[in-house]
Chains A and B, each alone.
Chain A
Amino acid sequence: MGAFIELDRVEKVFDVRKRTGFLKREVRRVRAVDSISFTVARGEMVGYIGPNGAGKSTTIKMLTGILTPSGGRLRVAGIDPSRERMRLAHRIGVVFGQRTTLWWDLPLIDSYRLMHRMYRIPDARYRENLDRLVELLGLGALLDVPVRQLSLGQRMRGDIAAALLHDPEVLYLDEPTIGLDVVSKARVREFLRELNAERGTTVLLTTHDLQDIEQLCSRVMVIDHGRLVYDGALAGLHEAGGGERTLVVDLARELPPIEAGPTARVVKVDGPRQWLAFPASESAAPLVARIAAEYPLVDLSVREPDIEAVIAKMLSSMGDASVPAPGRETVVPGAQSS
């Protein structure tokens, strides 16, 4: 089976106008997406991550047909998204984590009825999909509740169902777990796993939560300064980034810094609490066992590195050669206008 999503040297260049004086303006040419190429096969589940402003949203907007690429070739299910936006809309589902598409003042079911008619979903298939989504996402008791009365987690589940009623082949999720509590996050992740496993829906998600990626995605793509800087497994990302996790240890009393082997080092001591950094690719278990055996351990917790930190480390470890050239933002000569 060939590639379902195909990007070949896709670019997106914006001209950003900035006032520099009373009438003077400077035009900056920003390469939000700089010659990105990748393919995603049908049924893959891919995490698309990167710092704010790296070009994630711009890529998603090009893949959904919202934005027209400035250059390169882009295909989703064989369709050029920007040219055939409406035809593509029938085959994709989009969930913007911070922006609901549900109808605020109406019962949840009304939003689904609108999808039914707007996407011209055959009656039998609509009912079947609705029943399945209501069951899997636990929406049964919520269908008659006005959306404004739903909690954030309930609304997110409602939005995900709305995006899937028309059986899209690919689901784009922009920050699907942002702001959700632990239980809601787990529920959304479990659902996405099932969706991908049972229906073979291709899933592309952007997130700031590394656990989303760990629990869902076999593949991660990292974008920074508009360039694809990593494409592979999550474990590889930790290695490439030399990412570190932090073990926070509460001891029974104040003690000198813990000595816990060659790969872990104490980075901070505050009374009986100590912070140890260790490689993210390593298991925490032996480290914990060693400390528990030698020190009066009261409590402990492990902190995952956040995505920004992993990416920052990865970029610096790759050295100057692959750090994006400073020419990404260029002042267009002679482009000063009044």
Chain B
Amino acid sequence: MGEGGRTAVGVRAYWLIAGMWIRSTLAYRVSFALTALGGLVVTGLDFVAILLMFAQVDALGGYTLPEVAFLYGLSATSFGLADLLIGSAERLGRRVRDGSLDTLLVRPAPVLAQAAADRFALRRVGRVTQGALVLGYALVALDVGWTPVKVLLLPVMLVGGAGIFGAVFVAGAAFQFVAQDASEAQAAFTYGGQTLLQYPPTVFGKELVRGVTFMVPLAFVNWVPAAHVLGRPQPLGLPGWAAFVSPLVAVACCALAGLAWRAGLRSYRSTGS
């Protein structure tokens, strides 16, 4: 089977399994409604914290409220998308520990697709919704001269950002083949990274920004491309064109994560643990 055929089989299996989980969730409608509502309230409070901060100050690291809301909306939406679609892969360590990963390996579908669809949680749509609302507010409130390029950059940022976060999820899952209890460390990069990106790069130390740009290139989710939209200088004095490479960064990250996944799965299949 070619790589393309494999991907098609994987995508199909993904939606079949995700559909089963959605139906399982709907077997407990009230519980689903309550957790979805609770999730929306909790993530909503997240942005309220930023609003409270702006009640005391006019700018955060030189960024106005609409600008911070723009960064927040981009980060939360793209993270939410990645979390919704592939975040379940972080449960992999548990499956390795209790041996239930074996049941995925006897199915005629790629393990990654099955692991990503595992416990597909529709309630995660709440995070995407909240991020999109904040982003919507930012787009209305921003005082920016919109050019066609800037408008086009918006969907590119969201998709690229989701790709970068997705790659981090997959790489973290791959690491769990080796260290089954690594999901905490992974959360630092995913949930932690998402929170970090909600604030302007100017409030953080240079070392941290450098790490988030070159080591784990989360800066390409929003900081770097948003700098172009907001008409601000690039962090770390990056060239202007850096604002447009997010999709390439995302593709590179996904390729690396894919290799890491393969290596992880190969090591599992040769050690059985």
Question: Considering the complex, which residues of chain A in the window 149-164 have a beta carbon less than 8 Å from any beta carbon of chain B?
Answer: none
Q: How far is the CA of A99 from the CA of B104 in the complex (A)?
A: 12
Contact B108 A82 (CB under 8 A): no
**Which chain B residue shows the least CB distance to A166?**
B108
Q: Is A85 an interface residue (CB 8 A)?
A: yes
Contact B270 A99 (CB under 8 A): no
Contacts of B108 in A (CB 8 A): 86-87, 89-90, 118-119
Q: Is A239 an interface residue (CB 8 A)?
A: no
Contact A110 B100 (CB under 8 A): no
Surface stretch bound by A, among B23-31, B225-233, B252-260: B23-31
Contact B1 A86 (CB under 8 A): yes
Q: Is B20 an interface residue (CB 8 A)?
A: yes
Q: How far is the CA of A197 from the CA of B184 in the complex (A)?
A: 52
Contact A66 B269 (CB under 8 A): yes
Q: How far is the CA of A61 from the CA of B271 in the complex (A)?
A: 11
Contact B23 A64 (CB under 8 A): no
Contact with A67, one of B17, B20, B270 (Cβ below 8 angstroms): B270
Known: A86-B1, A118-B13. A61 touches B109 (CB 8 A): no
Q: How far is the CA of A118 from the CA of B107 in the complex (A)?
A: 8
Question: Considering the complex, which residues of chain A in the window 62-112 have a beta carbon less than 8 Å from any beta carbon of chain B?
Answer: 64-68, 70, 82, 85-87, 89-90, 92, 94, 96, 99, 101, 103-106, 110
Contacts of B147 in A (CB 8 A): none
**Which chain A residue shows the least CB distance to B101?**
A66
Contacts of B273 in A (CB 8 A): 14
**Which chain B residue shows the least CB distance to A58?**
B272
**Which chain B residue shows the least CB distance to A115?**
B107
**Which chain B residue shows the least CB distance to A70?**
B270
Q: How far is the CA of A104 from the CA of B24 in the complex (A)?
A: 8
Q: How far is the CB of A168 from chain B (nearest CB, A)?
A: 10
Contact B103 A99 (CB under 8 A): yes
Q: Is A125 an interface residue (CB 8 A)?
A: no
Chain B 1-34 per-residue mask, 1 if CB under 8 angstroms from chain A, else 0: 1000010010001001100100110011000000
Q: Is A127 an interface residue (CB 8 A)?
A: no
**Which chain A residue shows the least CB distance to B102?**
A66
Q: How far is the CA of A110 from the CA of B269 in the complex (A)?
A: 30
Q: How far is the CA of A113 from the CA of B141 in the complex (A)?
A: 49
Contacts of B24 in A (CB 8 A): 103-106
Known: A99-B100, A110-B23. A89 touches B272 (CB 8 A): no
Q: Is A114 an interface residue (CB 8 A)?
A: yes
Known: A61-B102, A105-B28, A119-B108. A68 touches B20 (CB 8 A): no
Contacts of A117 in B (CB 8 A): 16
Contact B27 A106 (CB under 8 A): yes
Contacts of B271 in A (CB 8 A): 14-15
Q: How far is the CB of A85 from chain B (nearest CB, A)?
A: 7
Q: Is B105 an interface residue (CB 8 A)?
A: yes
Q: Is A242 an interface residue (CB 8 A)?
A: no
Q: How far is the CB of A145 from chain B (nearest CB, A)?
A: 13
Known: A103-B20, A114-B16. A92 touches B106 (CB 8 A): yes
Contacts of A90 in B (CB 8 A): 108
Q: How far is the CB of B272 from chain A (nearest CB, A)?
A: 5
Residue among B100, B106, B109, B272 with max Cβ neighbours from chain A (10 Å): B106
Q: How far is the CB of A65 from chain B (nearest CB, A)?
A: 7
Contacts of A94 in B (CB 8 A): 106
Q: How far is the CA of A85 from the CA of B13 in the complex (A)?
A: 15
**Which chain A residue shows the least CB distance to B107?**
A89
Contacts of A106 in B (CB 8 A): 20, 23-24, 27
Question: Considering the complex, which residues of chain B in the window 27-57 have a beta carbon less than 8 Å from any beta carbon of chain A?
Answer: 27-28
**Chain B contact residues, CB within 8 Å of chain A:** 1, 6, 9, 13, 16-17, 20, 23-24, 27-28, 99-100, 102-103, 105-110, 266, 269-273
**Chain A contact residues, CB within 8 Å of chain B:** 14-15, 32, 58, 61, 64-68, 70, 82, 85-87, 89-90, 92, 94, 96, 99, 101, 103-106, 110, 114, 117-119, 146
Given pairs A61-B102, A66-B102, A70-B270, 13 additional interface contacts (CB within 8 A): A14-B272, A15-B271, A65-B105, A87-B1, A89-B106, A94-B106, A101-B103, A105-B24, A105-B28, A106-B20, A118-B13, A118-B108, A118-B109
Q: Rank and list the top 9 A-B pairs by shortest CB-CB distance, nearest first.
A: A89-B108, A105-B24, A66-B105, A94-B106, A105-B27, A68-B269, A86-B108, A68-B270, A66-B102
